Chains A and B, each alone.
Chain A
Amino acid sequence: MDSHTDFIDAAARVLELSIDPAWKAAVEANLAATLRLAASFMEFPLPDEAEPAPIFRA
């Protein structure tokens, strides 16, 4: 059920973050929430030519 634990451990090593074991459940929950939301737009079809908006202008 803790499907992102390995990912979090690996990412923490890459990012040089030391995470107290007591924080892990909350980090996992937050990451899972974002990934769940991200799935909604990741599946949304856009053409290869779609431009990103890193500096957005209205």
Chain B
Amino acid sequence: MDGAWAQASEIAAAVSEGRISAAAVVGAALARIRQLNSKLNAFTDVLGERALERAQAIDRTRAKGPLAGVPFAVKNLFDIAGLATRAGSRINRDRAPATRDATLIAHLEAAGAVLVGALNMGEYAYDFTGENVHDGDCRNPHDLTRMTGGSSSGSACAVAAGLTALALGSDTNGSIRVPSSLCGVFGLKPTYGRLSRAGTFPFVASLDHVGPMARSARDLALAYDAMAGPDADDPVCTSRPAVRTIPLIARGIAGLRIAVAGGYFRAGAFPEAQTALARVAAALGAKAEIEFPEAARARAAAYAITASEGGALHLDRLRARARDFDPAVRDRLIAGAMIPASIVVKAQKFRCWYRARVLELFADVDAVLAPATPCAAPRLGQQTFVLDGVELALRPNMGVYTQPISFVGLPVVTVPVPLEPLPVGVQIIAAPWREDVALRIAYALEHMGIASAKRPALE
């Protein structure tokens, strides 16, 4: 087993069979974090003592879980007992320390995984870059001069750099899928309401999702199976029974109808995003194109709801401590707080209309492919990019392909296509509650050699 690059499934098997102790695995992860974090800026908190105690407890138990000894870390908007949940901000550091761990941390630890720390993120999750004025920018492990993408920047970075096998992120408009694409890792944004958000700092209640990131489809499935379930502490979390995905993941793609998203999703992609999509589509034999109707309007409506709900959430902080925000986030939130209510009501009505049309698509297909981002990782500090001859602001436009999908809560696995010099991701979009379908396709692509998390040269 390769220490830094071992997958969660390999670690759990080795720990369960007694080939290595959980304490040794966790000790090695902590050492690697100490060695590399100053370069990458992925971690904002490292929980050495807690993690080693937890690992030793696992080594003492006979019945080890499916994630035994697997080090993981969480975006710092997840509550961790004893820490103030900062959500990428300066202001939240004045909050009282959390009294207990977020639900998903508890689920992963119940399966034997070991929390080793909290991860950098864009302020209050209103970000697609991974830049953070308070904690410093998170850096892309494949090129330290480039962005990780955001807002789950540290989550993608930690997994891509082999600091942890698993990480948790959140995704309101693309914040798992964008950094997964730019850092070249697998990311799962489940169906809206599938995984509990209890004990996470919110952004846009009507759009917020949480999910895992990893270096293989199997590891996403292992984490997902350990976390899916009802939770009375999150009013949006479904009581619908979860389908276990691990038993289904290796079934192959025979019988699955897979199409490529056309129209809106074909416009404006850079060559690398088009190459990645073409490789994935060819490997899967996906020839049919389907249209998400009114995708541009869907993206606009998600944008407006986000600005408005975000502005409303932070209104008191904008009144009292406006100068303590990241200026770029502050100015967006102030503008968001001023959006007329009629716009937001219409956006939510449009959402219902759009959902009905999108669900009709899934009568004819089981999954749809689309780019995850328009391009591979831009340089840190880059403000604009040129798309089809038009110069556009980079920050909001990194999410053009992710926003119309999360707007209706569809489950998506982002798979990394290891292009040179930088990886880029492709979205595998499935019908609501069919995480199993997206994971099966991701697993098949991995085993065909099309999708993989490429190891960066860091040492």
Interface residues of A (CB under 8 A from B): 7-8, 11-12, 15-20, 23, 26-31, 33-35, 37-38, 40-42, 44, 46, 50-58
How far does the alpha carbon of A53 sit from the alpha carbon of B345 in the complex, in Å? 9
B interface majority secondary structure: helix
- Pick 28 A–B contacts, CB within 8 A, sort by A: A11-B338, A16-B319, A17-B319, A18-B319, A23-B330, A26-B327, A27-B331, A27-B335, A30-B307, A30-B331, A30-B336, A31-B335, A34-B336, A37-B300, A38-B300, A38-B304, A40-B300, A41-B347, A42-B343, A46-B349, A51-B349, A53-B348, A56-B206, A56-B207, A57-B192, A58-B191, A58-B192, A58-B355
Contacts A34-B339, A44-B294, A44-B297 given; does A27 touch B334 at CB 8 Å: yes
How far does the alpha carbon of A11 sit from the alpha carbon of B182 in the complex, in Å? 38
Contacts A44-B297, A53-B351, A58-B409 given; does A23 touch B319 at CB 8 Å: no
* Interface mask (B348-360 → A, CB under 8 Å = 1, otherwise 0): 1111110100000
Question: Which residues of chain B from 302 to 322 have any CB-CB distance to chain A below 8 Å in the complex?
Answer: 303-304, 307, 315, 318-319, 322
How far does the alpha carbon of A56 sit from the alpha carbon of B206 in the complex, in Å? 6
How far does the alpha carbon of A50 sit from the alpha carbon of B408 in the complex, in Å? 16
Q: Which of A18, A23, A38, A53 contacts B327 (CB 8 A)?
A: A23
Chain B interface size, under 10 / 10 to 19 / 20 to 34 / 35 or more: 35 or more
> When the two chains form their complex, are residues B345 and A52 in contact, meaning their CB atoms are under 8 A apart?
yes
> When the two chains form their complex, are residues B348 and A58 in contact, meaning their CB atoms are under 8 A apart?
no
Q: For B193, what are the chain A residues with a Cβ–Cβ distance below 8 Å?
A: 57-58
Q: For B319, what are the chain A residues with a Cβ–Cβ distance below 8 Å?
A: 15-18
CB distance from B243 to the nearest CB of A (A): 14
How far does the alpha carbon of A51 sit from the alpha carbon of B350 in the complex, in Å? 9
User: Taking the complex as formed, is B301 at the interface, i.e. its CB lies under 8 A from any CB of chain A?
Assistant: yes
Which one of B294, B299, B335, B343 has the greatest number of beta carbons of chain A within 10 Å? B335
Least CB separation from B323: chain A residue: A20
Q: For B303, what are the chain A residues with a Cβ–Cβ distance below 8 Å?
A: 34, 37
User: Taking the complex as formed, is B236 at the interface, i.e. its CB lies under 8 A from any CB of chain A?
Assistant: yes
> When the two chains form their complex, are residues A15 and B337 in contact, meaning their CB atoms are under 8 A apart?
yes
How far does the alpha carbon of A35 sit from the alpha carbon of B347 in the complex, in Å? 12
How far does the alpha carbon of A16 sit from the alpha carbon of B16 in the complex, in Å? 58
Interface residues of B (CB under 8 A from A): 191-193, 206-207, 235-236, 294, 296-297, 299-301, 303-304, 307, 315, 318-319, 322, 327-328, 330-332, 334-339, 343, 345-353, 355, 396, 408-410, 432-433
How far does the alpha carbon of A51 sit from the alpha carbon of B355 in the complex, in Å? 12
Least CB separation from B350: chain A residue: A41
Q: For A58, what are the chain B residues with a Cβ–Cβ distance below 8 Å?
A: 191-193, 355, 408-410, 432-433
CB distance from A25 to the nearest CB of B (A): 9
* Additional A-B contact list (17), CB under 8 Å, known A27-B331, A35-B343: A15-B315, A15-B338, A19-B322, A20-B322, A23-B334, A30-B334, A35-B339, A38-B304, A40-B296, A41-B350, A44-B297, A52-B352, A53-B352, A54-B206, A56-B409, A58-B191, A58-B409
Q: For A27, what are the chain B residues with a Cβ–Cβ distance below 8 Å?
A: 331, 334-335
Least CB separation from A14: chain B residue: B338
Q: For B327, what are the chain A residues with a Cβ–Cβ distance below 8 Å?
A: 23, 26
Contacts A7-B338, A8-B338, A15-B337 given; does A55 touch B236 at CB 8 Å: yes
Which one of A11, A31, A34 has the greatest number of beta carbons of chain B within 10 Å? A34
Q: For B192, what are the chain A residues with a Cβ–Cβ distance below 8 Å?
A: 56-58
How far does the alpha carbon of A26 sit from the alpha carbon of B327 in the complex, in Å? 9
> When the two chains form their complex, are residues A38 and B343 in contact, meaning their CB atoms are under 8 A apart?
yes
The 3 closest A-B pairs by CB, nearest first: A30-B335, A52-B348, A37-B300
